Amino acid sequence: MPHVLICESLDRLNRQAPLDALAPFIGLINAGITLVTLTDRQRFTRESMGEDGGLRLLGSLIVMLRAHEESATKSKRVRAAWERKRREADVRKLTKTCPAWLRLAPDRSRFEIMEERADIVRLIFAETASGIGKGSIAARLNEAGVPGFRGKNGWHASYIQKLLSSDAALGIYQPHTLEKGRRVPAGPPVPCYFPPIVDEGVALKARAAIISRRQGAAGRKGADFRNILTGIAQCAACGGSMTYIGKGDAERYLACSSARRRRGCSSRALFNFNEAERQFLDAAMQMDPTARRTPGANGTRDELHRVQRDVARLSGRLTRLLAAFESDSTDEIVASVSDTRDRLRLARLAEGRLMDALVVEEYGAGLPDLLAAISELRCPEYPTSGSSRFLVRARIAHAAKAAGFTAAFHEHERRVELRCIGYEDAVWFSCLAKRDDPKRDLLGRFAKQMQNG
Ligand SMILES: [Zn+2]
């Protein structure tokens, strides 16, 4: 039986450039070994070499030379890009590039804070921490006539988002490079590069609020943040959200959103919104924060530690595998590399999700924030200007959701079941709408008029 050597391609014989593989290749064939290359599906023997005078071998060699050249160029380019990134991170240090609320001191040795602008940034973080979305913040800044940092076009939600998602306000500098026209982070962030202007606790609260908003029903809110039950009200029949229907101050209702859009829920009940809000605020004020049993942050922290150990273990494994891959690129190693890489990616995703959850659990708004905001709303001396009412109502809506409240609206019982995570008992209250659906009623009146007229 002849000896057969199977390899992926010629250069895999000894992981060298194809030309360097030629000598051992011919040596093997001369020794009577049959060589099979998988990439171009060729089979070489002493006889076949004699038959075509080595022409087929030349063809095979050209294919491999081309492939080798391509991959060499690619890895050269990747390396060059990385080196450029590293250089740029150093060169940019103490250039004029800095956030819009800072300027380089005349002697170029440090950055100075432009206090009026820094105050606006602080306001943006504080409002975000109380649960106000970037769109509302931009609108309110424009309404108040606060000039934007760039250009004359006022404030945009996208700029606010950028400001909140960078850590520059905390003094951290993240170098970036342009890749295919997009700004991408290059190298690790540099702490203490800029003077910090926002307290870390406020920044974490803002992050917690952004994460909670992302998970729940956010969206445009009216000028006075009408529906403070927006994140917690749900239809008991279908579990969907409740829609706010407002027709002036006296006629405000909540109804199942799916049912109103005729999307599979049959609950047609209308609940009196003003009454539901009053009852909810009353019930919340009765809650004792100290009586709460929270499974809370400890579980998440343990889980996070477990996942972080996984990440460390898997990335160590990947490093070892890649080292082995250098000397011996068998199919098994290739398979393990891709398997380990996939599992590492999943572990990193889980790590990010748990870190988000922990931020919400530890820094998110809670029952004390809710109670403070309700007291403020109900304080007789509280200024009733539109802007401050909006703020305090937004804080209530955000804290109610973050504190773990749900209000299930039961159609048949025409009452609401209020629950809060960490408390055994539900609070029930009724908030019957005195009238039926205003639309149906209008139709009814219209029909009556038609009959009478
Ligand atoms: Zn429903």
Distance 172 CA to ligand 1 centre (A): 47
Q: Please tell me the distance between residue 256's alpha carbon and the centre of ligand 1 in angstroms.
A: 5
104 and 142 both lie in a single domain: yes
Task: For 33, list phi and psi in degrees, rounded to 5.
Answer: -95, 140
* Same domain for 355 and 330: yes
447 alpha carbon – ligand 1 mean position (Å): 28
**Interval between CA 257 and ligand 1 midpoint (Å):** 7
Is 27 inside any structural domain?
A: yes
224, part of any domain: no
CATH of the domain at 127: 3.90.1750.20
**Angle 273-286/386-402 helices, nearest 10 degrees?**
60
Same domain, 407 and 264: yes
How close is the Cα of 426 to the center of ligand 1, in Å?
20
Please tell me the distance between residue 174's alpha carbon and the centre of ligand 1 in angstroms.
47
Q: Among residues 284, 280, 285, which one has the least CA distance to residue 227?
A: 280
For residue 403, the CA-to-ligand 1 centroid distance in Å is 24
71 in a structural domain: yes
Same domain, residue pair 315 and 253:
no
> Looking at the 3D structure of the chain, how many domains does it have?
4
For ligand 1, the distance from its centroid to the CA atom of residue 268, given in whole angstroms, is 8
Spacing, Cα 397 to ligand 1 middle (Å): 21
Does residue 134 share a domain with residue 22?
A: no
Position 389 in a domain: yes
Same structural domain for residues 382 and 244? Answer: yes
Rounded to 10 degrees, the C-alpha dihedral 102/103/105/107 comes to: 130
Same-domain status, 128 and 207: yes
Same-domain check for residues 11 and 61: yes
Q: What does each of the 453 residues of the chain score in pLDDT, given as a tens digit? A: 456 666 666 655 545 566 666 777 777 778 777 777 666 667 778 888 777 767 777 777 776 677 667 666 666 666 666 666 555 544 444 456 788 999 888 777 788 899 999 999 999 999 898 888 888 888 888 888 888 888 778 898 889 998 998 889 998 888 777 777 777 777 777 778 888 999 888 888 888 888 777 665 444 455 556 788 888 899 988 888 898 887 776 778 899 988 888 778 888 888 999 899 999 999 999 988 887 776 555 778 888 899 999 999 998 888 888 777 667 767 787 778 778 888 888 888 888 888 887 877 777 778 888 999 899 888 877 766 666 778 888 889 888 988 889 999 998 878 999 998 878 888 999 887 765 544 545 544 554 555 554
Q: What is the CA(226)–ligand 1 centre distance, in A?
A: 21
Q: How far is CA 337 from CA 134, 345, 363, 423, in A?
A: 42, 12, 38, 48
Is residue 36 domain-shared with residue 98, that is, in the same domain? no
Nearest Cα residue to 15 out of 76, 73, 72: 72
Say how many Å lie between the CA of residue 13 and the centre of ligand 1. 67
CATH of the domain at 328: 1.20.58
Q: How far is the CA of 412 from the centre of ligand 1 (A)?
A: 12
Answer whether residue 227 is part of any domain: no
In a domain, 132, yes or no: yes
Asked whether 192 and 360 are in contact (CB, 8 A), the reply is no
Full domain range(s) for residue 201: 94-215
Residues 205, 186 share a domain: yes
Q: How far is the CA of 245 from the centre of ligand 1 (A)?
A: 15
Whether residue 193 sits in one domain with residue 132: yes
Q: Is residue 422, in this structure, part of any structural domain at all?
A: yes
Tell me how far the alpha carbon of residue 280 lies from the centroid of ligand 1, in angstroms: 20
Q: Which of 43, 75, 90 is the last residue of a domain?
A: 90
Residue 149 sits in the same domain as residue 208 = yes
Domain stop point among 49, 68, 90: 90
Q: How far is the CA of 411 from the centre of ligand 1 (A)?
A: 9
Of 215, 250, 271, the residue that ends a domain is 215
Asked if residue 51 belongs to a domain, the reply is yes
CB neighbour list of residue 257: distance below 8 Å, 6 or more residues apart: 235, 240, 241, 242, 243
